[in-house]
């Protein structure tokens, strides 16, 4: 019996004589903590989340994986597409901004492939690429994002580059639909059935910061939208089992723009990364990670005072605006007190409990120079555009590849008056977990941002200050 694959917009189906169990395992992953789940421990479940049904139904984004699997086993198959993809004419430029060469190539690849992930660094102009794709296709479009700041930031860009009369918005209590809608994932994920008929009208899906599709909320939401064109935008798609969820939603990475390329061409500012060694307090290794993080980072008065001192020094050297990124509001509040105590006045602490309007006002004050030091929680870790930032103090520790790249990338946007950005992190030698995480971050800087050059670690603040230039 021959093997046939029917490719649909969202789901596809394989039928015929093929190794069902082996293919189902190929299209599965082990969720975090599976080994502790009762069903697994009672041997009632193999621990895997299967993305293909026993009957052969699987997400269309995984077709390349299915194809590779069949070819590797010398199994012949035929493919039938159950929907028609219209021919696309020449790429249309955004209204007011001419695409750079790499952006134009990204658009061309996307239109040719019709689905896939565009890996593009922070500051590379992902929203402009999306504008060109949307304008060229000229079809009902849903653009997904997950934060209020990005919702309004994207709306402004689309209105300028596509046309104000075509742009709608769903999120932050607003439901105003149009041909092209910028949509909040949290809003539609709370009541997905309410938007079911709305989803059916959309032919183009673009998911910003699509690495979040590796979470179930994003995955379930995206898979309800039956768009024939499906794209993801991110600086940080990661490999591994759960990457299958991302591929299932939009397909594999189809185009990559490298940091090194953009830095070389001066589209991004060159990062200078310095790490300061922290040795206080000495936290016993018997302490669990949460306690070590609280004592070594959030409540570490010595470390927080140092951060405030660094911010003051950077301002005195005119290396402002300075952005200090924390993980928790409590940590930001602690740093805010220290910043105030060293005599700085032009600072603001902004976090997720502030309204979108308040946050936008603060960003505007940074852009105009009224705010010299910006203390933030992770709300500014992804996507938010503040090009003038000259210095970043990454105060939150941790080891997440996505977090490190996203936070460092916030300061790398280039301007006419800025060709370099200073990134200051900490080498926390106060607990084995914190030290391990510091080493991990240092390696990420080396491999992703510094062309394989290991960033230096300084044992004193004086030595760090001597090497600011």
CATH at residue 121: 3.40.50.300
Mean pLDDT for the stretch of residues 445-464: 94
Do 67 and 113 have their domain in common? no
With bands split at pLDDT 50, 70 and 90, how would you rate the model's confidence at 239?
Answer: low
467 exposure class (CB count in 10 Å sphere: 0-12, 13-18, 19+): exposed
pLDDT at residue 359 tops 90 = no
Do 362 and 449 have their domain in common? yes
Specify if 87 maps to a domain. Answer: no
Do 244 and 342 have their domain in common? no
What total number of domains does the chain contain?
Answer: 3
Measure the CA–CA gap between 36 and 25, rounded to whole angstroms.
Answer: 20
Q: Which of 81, 116, 151 marks a domain boundary?
A: 81
Residue 153 Cα distances to 121, 255, 362, 363, 425, angstroms: 17, 24, 14, 11, 28
With bands split at pLDDT 50, 70 and 90, how would you rate the model's confidence at 397?
Answer: very high
With bands split at pLDDT 50, 70 and 90, how would you rate the model's confidence at 410?
Answer: confident
Alpha-carbon dihedral angle through residues 247, 251, 252, 253, given to the nearest 10 degrees: -110
pLDDT tens-digit map of 41-57: 888 999 999 999 999 99
DSSP 37: S
Specify if 95 maps to a domain. Answer: no
Specify if 316 maps to a domain. Answer: yes
Do 327 and 442 have their domain in common? yes
Do 149 and 178 have their domain in common? yes
pLDDT at residue 26 tops 90 = yes
Measure the CA–CA gap between 143 and 155, rounded to whole angstroms.
Answer: 10
Do 229 and 328 have their domain in common? no
Pair 368, 286: CB distance under 8 Å: no
Specify if 88 maps to a domain. Answer: no
Do 158 and 274 have their domain in common? no
> What pLDDT score was predicted for residue 381?
53
Specify if 158 maps to a domain. Answer: yes
> What pLDDT score was predicted for residue 302?
97
With bands split at pLDDT 50, 70 and 90, how would you rate the model's confidence at 242?
Answer: low
Specify if 86 maps to a domain. Answer: no
Q: Which of 81, 111, 130 marks a domain boundary?
A: 81
Q: Which of 29, 35, 18 is nearest to 72 (CA)?
A: 18
Q: Which of 439, 170, 378, 394 is nearest to 297 (CA)?
A: 394
With bands split at pLDDT 50, 70 and 90, how would you rate the model's confidence at 123?
Answer: confident
Do 249 and 277 have their domain in common? no
Do 288 and 253 have their domain in common? no
DSSP string, 64-119: HHHHHHHHHTT--EEEEESSPPPPP-SPPPPSS-PPPHHHHHHHHHHHHHSEEEEE
Residue showing tokens 């500014």: 380
Q: Which CATH number goes with the domain that contains 63?
A: 3.30.780.20
> What pLDDT score was predicted for residue 383?
57
Do 179 and 248 have their domain in common? yes
Measure the CA–CA gap between 78 and 297, rounded to whole angstroms.
Answer: 57
Specify if 287 maps to a domain. Answer: yes
With bands split at pLDDT 50, 70 and 90, how would you rate the model's confidence at 382?
Answer: low
Specify if 67 maps to a domain. Answer: yes
pLDDT at residue 374 tops 60 = yes
- Residue ranges of the alpha helices (H) in 368-430? 401-409
**Domain enclosing residue 182, as ranges:** 101-257
More confident residue, 172 or 107: 107
Q: Which of 257, 283, 312 marks a domain boundary?
A: 257
pLDDT at residue 326 tops 90 = yes
């Amino acid at each position: 019996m021959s093997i046939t694959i029917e490719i649909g917009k969202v789901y596809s189906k394989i039928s015929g004589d093929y190794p069902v169990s082996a293919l189902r395992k190929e299209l599965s992953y082990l969720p975090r903590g599976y080994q502790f789940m009762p069903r697994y421990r009672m041997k009632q479940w193999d621990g895997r989340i299967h993305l293909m049904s026993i009957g052969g139904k699987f997400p269309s984004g995984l077709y390349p994986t299915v194809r590779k699997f069949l070819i590797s086993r010398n199994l012949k198959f035929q493919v039938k597409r159950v929907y028609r993809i219209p021919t696309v004419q020449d790429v249309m430029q955004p209204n007011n901004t001419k695409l750079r060469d790499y952006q134009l190539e990204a658009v061309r690849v996307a239109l040719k492939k019709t689905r896939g992930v565009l890996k593009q660094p922070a500051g590379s102009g992902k929203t402009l690429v999306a504008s060109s794709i949307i304008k060229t296709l000229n079809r009902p479009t849903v653009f997904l994002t997950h934060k209020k700041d990005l919702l309004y930031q994207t709306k402004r860009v689309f209105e300028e580059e596509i046309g104000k009369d075509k742009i709608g918005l769903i999120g932050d209590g607003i439901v105003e639909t149009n041909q092209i809608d910028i949509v909040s994932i949290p809003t539609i994920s709370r009541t997905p059935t309410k938007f079911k008929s709305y989803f059916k009208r959309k032919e183009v899906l673009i998911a910003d910061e699509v690495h979040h599709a590796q979470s179930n909320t994003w995955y379930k939401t995206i898979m309800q939208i039956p768009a024939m064109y499906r794209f993801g935008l991110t600086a940080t798609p990661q490999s591994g089992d759960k990457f299958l969820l991302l591929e299932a939603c939009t397909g594999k990475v189809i185009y990559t723009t490298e940091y090194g390329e953009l830095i070389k061409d001066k589209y991004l500012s060159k990062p200078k990364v310095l790490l300061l060694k922290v040795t206080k307090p000495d936290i016993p290794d018997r302490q669990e990670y949460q306690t070590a993080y609280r004592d070594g980072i959030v409540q570490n008065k010595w470390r927080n005072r140092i951060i405030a001192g660094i911010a003051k020094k950077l301002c005195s050297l005119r290396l402002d605006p300075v952005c200090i990124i924390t993980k928790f509001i409590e940590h930001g509040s602690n740093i805010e007190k220290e910043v105030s105590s060293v005599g700085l006045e032009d600072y603001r602490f902004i976090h997720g409990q502030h309204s979108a309007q308040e946050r936008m006002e603060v960003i505007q004050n940074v852009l105009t120079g009224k705010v010299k030091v910006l203390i933030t929680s992770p709300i500014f870790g992804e996507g938010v555009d503040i090009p003038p930032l000259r210095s970043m103090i990454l105060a939150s520790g941790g080891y997440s590849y996505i977090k490190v790249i996203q936070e460092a990338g916030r300061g790398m946007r280039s301007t006419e008056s800025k060709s370099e950005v200073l990134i200051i992190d900490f080498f926390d030698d106060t607990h084995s977990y914190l030290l391990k995480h510091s080493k991990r971050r240092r390696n990420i800087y080396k491999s992703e941002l510094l062309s394989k050059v290991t960033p230096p670690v300084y044992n004193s603040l004086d030595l760090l200050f001597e090497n600011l230039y």
